[in-house]
Amino acid sequence: MDEQEIVIGLVTISDRASQGVYEDQGIPALTAWLELALATRWKAVTRIVPDERAIIESTLCELADQIGCHLVLTTGGTGPAPRDVTPEATLAVADRELPGFGEQMRAVSLKYVPTAILSRQVGAVRGKTLMLNLPGQPKAIKETLDGVFAAVPYCIDLIGGPYIETHEEIVRAFRPKSALREKK
Amino acid sequence: MDEQEIVIGLVTISDRASQGVYEDQGIPALTAWLELALATRWKAVTRIVPDERAIIESTLCELADQIGCHLVLTTGGTGPAPRDVTPEATLAVADRELPGFGEQMRAVSLKYVPTAILSRQVGAVRGKTLMLNLPGQPKAIKETLDGVFAAVPYCIDLIGGPYIETHEEIVRAFRPKSALREKK
Amino acid sequence: MDEQEIVIGLVTISDRASQGVYEDQGIPALTAWLELALATRWKAVTRIVPDERAIIESTLCELADQIGCHLVLTTGGTGPAPRDVTPEATLAVADRELPGFGEQMRAVSLKYVPTAILSRQVGAVRGKTLMLNLPGQPKAIKETLDGVFAAVPYCIDLIGGPYIETHEEIVRAFRPKSALREKK
């Protein structure tokens, strides 16, 4: 087997979900979208954590450094409320931000709701791991992934990760010609 | 009376207006727009200050902390010229930036003038106060408020402020269903 | 002669181009666009440097401070790969960022390729010099300059540089009426 398995961290960030006050809807929504979109073999590593900056930071570091995730998707904690600290935690453990992800995720959500302005979500790189903050609502998760995932596989190429292929009827991974590999 | 009055700080930032060299047009433009848009009772607290970072910072702190403004709108001082320091002052006293406001205010203005790119205006939160930098020109003030105010009432909900209602023919305050209250 | 000559720094940032592994295409693409667009007399000062942050920083400082460039255009080094450090170097020597340039350059490129999200390019000011990071590909250079250059002449006015005029069939320099001078 020459094909590398993609490892994706899925992190729900929510005080209530982490206390079991209500059932997490974030990880199921992320999983459902990825199942449809990814043509390459992948596995998920999941975490449900409260809106505590130190816990979010250590969770992201564990997923990136110990588990070796190529991609980490978080859901929740990106609004203006005082308990929302996901973007701060993500940037604190990042080597560099990719500001286009935050801009474009907001621009995509803005087609649906004017309050998309309020999201502070970021995309950032830690080592060979791309980290993206997604909204908390399942509907908004799908809209956002539909809107930006086309750029994710090439980004993971560039930071040294595996070659990811997608089902084109869901999302067409875009790469410059020089970066394309032949289909298996 | 169970309805809380909204307190809004309006700050013109301009060397010339603060010296009386010309008549301030910023606060009148802000007031005119808010009079038409807000359905909830509100009062303005106004300041006219020069383009001096320390003075702008202390004015924003006074309006947020002593006066208890729920919203502070500044006008002027956001361009690339050396004397323009409004965004620096706003971020210096902010707990956190809401980058979607800057992005979207520029995107809105860009429909009218290509030099909207040059504005460095930001939206940010200090405690329970939302602070927004608006352009200096009355026409651009109106265009910007038309373009982003729909997200302001829900933002103020989320940071612990009063429930603001608007006249829908001017701007429809957007909230998720779970955050809507019955009309009085 | 009362007309000031514009001095523009053109910097290719590429390990391979700087080693002569392949021929630089960035500076020729920048020059070709500027030749068509600028109506005011201008001269280029060119540099080809590797993706080394310290070298990029000292090159930008030399062009801004010693040479006195009014505008510096870089090409290359803005992606997510570990060797891409152009935005970090640019911000490190900047007095202030103009975030609208990064946002709008990405928005323009996004009309052509979804991976435009991945560019971290910035616009920033150092003293009286406007610095803009452009993409590496000649096609993307042209698209980006077509998309944002209308705001460049007025920006250079505001930071104390010479009055730049353009050929309107390529790009129409936009200024508010109060900033317009009579055509010569």
**Cβ distance of B114 and C151 shorter than 8 Å:** yes
Predicted confidence (pLDDT) per residue in A9-58, tens digit? 999 999 999 999 989 999 999 999 999 999 999 999 999 999 999 999 99
Domain ranges (residues) in chain C: 6-179
Query: Interhelix angle for B99-110 vs B138-148, to 10°?
Result: 120
pLDDT at A2 over 80: no
User: Which residue of A83, A84, A101, A117 to mutate against B (max B Cβ within 10 Å)?
Assistant: A117
Q: What is the CATH number of domain A6-179?
A: 3.40.980.10
Three-state secondary structure string covering chain B: CCCCCEEEEEEEECHHHHCCCCCCCHHHHHHHHHHHHECCCEEEEEEEECCCHHHHHHHHHHHHHHCCCCEEEEECCCCCCCCCCHHHHHHHCCCEECHHHHHHHHHHHHCCCHHHHHCCCCEEEECCEEEEEECCCHHHHHHHHHHHHHHHHHHHHHCCCCCCCECCCCCCCCCCHHHCCCCC
Average pLDDT of chain A is 96
Which chains does chain C touch, 3 or more C-beta pairs < 8 A? A, B
**Cβ distance of A150 and C114 shorter than 8 Å:** yes
Within 13 Å, how many C-alpha atoms sit on residue B3's CB side? Answer: 12
Cα C6 to the center of its chain, rounded Å: 13
pLDDT at B2: 47
For tokens 């990814």, the residue is: A38
The whole-angstrom separation of Cα C104 and Cα C90 is 17
Residues of B in contact with A138 (CB under 8 A): none
Which chains does chain A touch, 3 or more C-beta pairs < 8 A? B, C
Beta carbons of A11 and A58 less than 8 angstroms apart: no
User: Which residue of B122, B148, B174, B180 to mutate against A (max A Cβ within 10 Å)?
Assistant: B174
pLDDT band of residue B25 (cuts 50, 70, 90) is very high
pLDDT at C7: 98
As a whole number, mean pLDDT of residues A84-89 equals 98
Which of A104-108, B2-6, B152-156, C117-121 has the least mean pLDDT? B2-6
Which chains does chain B touch, 3 or more C-beta pairs < 8 A? A, C
pLDDT at B48 over 60: yes
pLDDT at B1: 42
**Cβ distance of A80 and B96 shorter than 8 Å:** yes
- If interface means Cβ-Cβ distance under 8 Å, which residues of chain A face chain B? 79-82, 88, 102-103, 106-107, 110, 113-120
pLDDT at A145: 98
pLDDT at C184: 54
Query: Interhelix angle for B99-110 vs C99-110, to 10°?
Result: 70
Residues of A in contact with C107 (CB under 8 A): 103, 107
**Cβ distance of C79 and A148 shorter than 8 Å:** no
User: Which residue of C97, C115, C122, C137 to mutate against A (max A Cβ within 10 Å)?
Assistant: C115
Size of interface B-C (CB pairs under 8 A): 58
Residues of A in contact with C116 (CB under 8 A): 100, 151
pLDDT at B138: 96
Residues of C in contact with B82 (CB under 8 A): 159-160
pLDDT at B184: 54
* Angstroms from C108 CA to nearest CA on chain A: 12
pLDDT at B4: 80
Predicted confidence (pLDDT) per residue in B72-130, tens digit? 999 999 999 999 999 999 999 999 999 999 999 999 999 999 999 999 999 999 999 99
Residues of A in contact with C118 (CB under 8 A): 98, 100, 151, 154-155, 158
**Cβ distance of C117 and A101 shorter than 8 Å:** yes
pLDDT by residue for chain C (184 residues), tens only, comes to 446 899 999 999 999 999 999 899 999 999 999 999 999 999 999 999 999 999 999 999 999 999 999 999 999 999 999 999 999 999 999 999 999 999 999 999 999 999 999 999 999 999 999 999 999 999 999 999 999 999 999 999 999 999 999 999 999 999 999 999 876 5
pLDDT at A3 over 80: no
Q: Read off φ and ψ for residue A6, nearest 5 degrees.
A: -85, 135
Choose among A98, A148, A150: nearest Cβ to C120. A98
